[in-house]
């Protein structure tokens, strides 16, 4: 995990959207999705509950968001 990964996670959490995060970062949606999946694998935790076009934080994701904000 690095600074960029934490920033990506934070933006997806705040916008509840991979599409919006990708636009803000000037990256492809697939890159954002891959980074989130890699982070979840690294932490061995589901950080988001994927819904109808929304990425809602899971309880583990809510805990991790506070950590990510402190680091950033």
Say what the pTM is.
Answer: 0.92
- The Cα–Cα gap between 53 and 72 comes to 26
Q: Where are the alpha helices (DSSP H) in the chain?
A: 3-15, 18-25, 29-43, 59-71
Q: What is the pLDDT of residues 6-51, one digit of tens each?
A: 999 999 999 999 999 999 999 999 999 999 999 999 999 999 998 7
């Amino acid at each position: 995990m690095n600074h960029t990964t934490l920033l990506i996670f934070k933006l997806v959490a705040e916008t509840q959207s991979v599409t919006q995060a990708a636009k803000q970062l000037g990256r492809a949606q697939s890159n954002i999705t891959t980074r989130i999946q890699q982070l979840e694998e690294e932490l061995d935790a589901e950080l988001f509950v994927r819904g109808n076009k929304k990425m809602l934080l899971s309880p583990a994701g809510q805990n991790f968001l506070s950590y990510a904000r402190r680091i950033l």
